[in-house]
Structure 1
Amino acid sequence: MRKRGLLLAVLLLTGVAQAQVPATELTSRFRRSTTRVGQPIDYELSYRHAPAQEVIFPDSTADFAPFEFVGKTYVPTRTRHGRSLDRTVYHLRTFALDSVQRLRLSITVLQGRDTLLLPAPEATVRLLRTAPTPEGPEPPALRQNTALVPVQPEFNWPYWVAGAGLLGLLGLALVVGFGSRLRRRYQRYKLRKNHAYFLAQYARHVERFTLSRSLANMERAITLWKNYLSVLENNIINSLTTKEVVAHFQNDADVSMALQIADKVIYGNQLSEEEAETDLAFVLLRNFAERRYALVAEQPVE
């Protein structure tokens, strides 16, 4: 009898609590009367209550079937004339195919140590169909079409960008790892190429002088020799006089003898009938250029 009395008292208290929360204060509605499959739709839930009353609205874990929860927008509580208004807009979508779809949520009201679950009125929305519905029991016949449709090829930018980046990294690794070695090899190759070009041009001027005995050809050969040594050793002997050139090369005997013979022939117009003397001058200058090239080639390239 005592247990039945306690149970009856609890039921009476619960009934009083429910009576203290009028259902008309809790409203729910869809903001549109129709929706489509997968189209977002807003569901508004609002509740007017006493300012001191604590209310908890449903969150994303609530049961929104047949709808799916997308998000929600909470409106701050507004109190006017002794009544507070709480309102939340839920952003939903549905993939169900029912013509009329219903939703009924509940809010939680805290009253001291008691918790009251207050269901909102049911809200309905009508589903708009975008595909025709077959009238008969059989579905419409499907038409088979296996013909290939031409597709415009597109440039595969991601692969090309990745390939270009990989090549750039490979080139950077080669420059970092082998840059100095490749640079030294290139400079030595350019040195050999310039020396071979000088020897060919020098031999051509000497041959022309031998055939024509023209002083202009001899002067061209001497000028070519000076220009080559200027580039080879990075000096300015091409602008120096014969005496200054001999002094620059520390009075080298071959250079001194060859340039004296050349000056005598060019400036003194003392071209000897004997070819041995002029031939000796050409040979001495060429041999000296060979020796200077060998010295430069043996030096380490920076």
Structure 2
Amino acid sequence: MRRFSSLFLGLALLLSHAAAAVSSAEQDVPRSRFMRPGTRVGEIIDYELSYAHAPDLEVIFPDSTAEFKPFEYVGKTFYPTRTRRGQSIDRTVYHLRTFALDSVQRLSLPVTILRGNDTVAVASTAAVVRLLRTATVAAGAAQAPVLQQNTTPLPVPTQFNYPYWLAGAGVLALALGGFFVGFRRTLRLRYQRYRLRKNHVYFLAQYARHIERFTLSRSLTNMERAITLWKNYLTGLEDNTINSLTTREIVAHYENDHDVNTALRITDRVIYGNQFSEEEAETDMAFVLLRDFAERRYELVSARLRA
């Protein structure tokens, strides 16, 4: 009798442990549900996956590489773990859409549990959503309505073709680069001749203006400005420093050129000695000699660039 009593007590304890294990297992199952009971084709619907577990348990929820069929993954929103009264809850909402035509569609995502070096996948409860039809069928109709054909083309807005334009711009840049490399010396010489001619025209215009002002006012300031302009022009033209040289040094620099020597001696006598000639022909001749000399130097430099 005692033996049967011990056997019955052991069997009762075993059944109670099994019931507790079953109850615990039921509590440990991840829960999933759709946030709406129905959805349309291509419409985004939220799928919630939650799992209540012990705080010391390491849990991994599915990411974008999981199997979502018959749904397509669009995105997800995850929430921080909340622990209350010795129980932690993880929750993630997945944004999905479907293009399947089944009236009822199901999804059950597994949750991965880390236990040392091993992992255990625990399936969640299945969530169900119904597909809402957008094409209505008339009551009592045996077949679906006949589709009406419409082949009239609809206007399509023109879009900018970035790849082709970028490729064209690249080819054009390469062509321009090759042209520049091949004709670099010619282009540089043409540009130098252009600037040389432009500076010479500007010098002649400004030089004539100073001479005109001197003729009208007989002011030494205008004569000094004309001489300074002439020196600065030759300095830039020939890349020298005659604008900082004295008259004697300038004459020596140009190897005692007759026009330069004569013109500068006349202008020095007028400017520094205040010795105006009774006739204006002498000062006019000085201006003409300096202008003609500048013309000759311009032609000399221009011929070097054309060679």
- TM-score for both structures, normalised by structure 1: 0.53
1:293 aligns with 2:298: yes
1:154 aligns with 2:159: yes
Deviation at 1:140, TM superposition (A): 2.7
Aligned residues: 190
Render the CA deviation track for 1:101-159: whole Å, top value 9, x for unaligned: xxxxxxxxxxxxxxxxxxxxxxxxxxx99988989664432144556655444321012
**1:1-302 alignment runs, 5 A limit:** 138-145=143-150, 151-300=156-305
Deviation at 1:219, TM superposition (A): 0.7
* Alpha carbons 1:232, 1:293 under 8 Å: kept: yes
- TM-score for both structures, normalised by structure 2: 0.52
Distance in structure 1 (CA, Å) of the matches to 2:265 and 2:219:
18
* Alpha carbons 2:193, 2:305 under 8 Å: kept: no
Residue identity in the other structure for 2:304: Q
* Alpha carbons 1:187, 1:301 under 8 Å: kept: no
Residue identity in the other structure for 1:189: Y
* Alpha carbons 1:209, 1:218 under 8 Å: kept: yes
Distance in structure 2 (CA, Å) of the matches to 1:133 and 1:215:
104
Residue identity in the other structure for 2:160: F
Render the CA deviation track for 1:79-99: whole Å, top value 9, x for unaligned: xxxxxxxxxxxxxxxx9x9xx
Distance in structure 1 (CA, Å) of the matches to 2:237 and 2:276:
31
- Percent sequence identity is 64
Distance in structure 2 (CA, Å) of the matches to 1:291 and 1:203:
17
Render the CA deviation track for 1:231-256: whole Å, top value 9, x for unaligned: 00001111111111111111212111
- SS of residue matched to 2:276: coil
Distance in structure 1 (CA, Å) of the matches to 2:151 and 2:251:
92
Distance in structure 2 (CA, Å) of the matches to 1:258 and 1:289:
12
Distance in structure 2 (CA, Å) of the matches to 1:300 and 1:284:
25
Structure 2 unaligned blocks of 5 or more: 1-99, 103-129
Distance in structure 2 (CA, Å) of the matches to 1:158 and 1:179:
30
Residue identity in the other structure for 1:184: L
1:133 to 1:276, Cα distance in 2 relative to 1, 3 A: closer
Residue identity in the other structure for 1:258: A
Residue identity in the other structure for 1:166: V
Render the CA deviation track for 1:162-220: whole Å, top value 9, x for unaligned: 22112112211211222221221121121111111111111111111111111111111
Residue identity in the other structure for 2:179: L
Q: Structure 1 stretch 179-188 or stretch 220-229: which is displaced more? A: 179-188
Residue identity in the other structure for 2:286: A
Residue identity in the other structure for 2:251: V
- SS of residue matched to 2:305: coil
What root-mean-square deviation, in Å, do the aligned CA atoms of Structure 1 and Structure 2 show? Answer: 3.9
Distance in structure 1 (CA, Å) of the matches to 2:182 and 2:233:
33
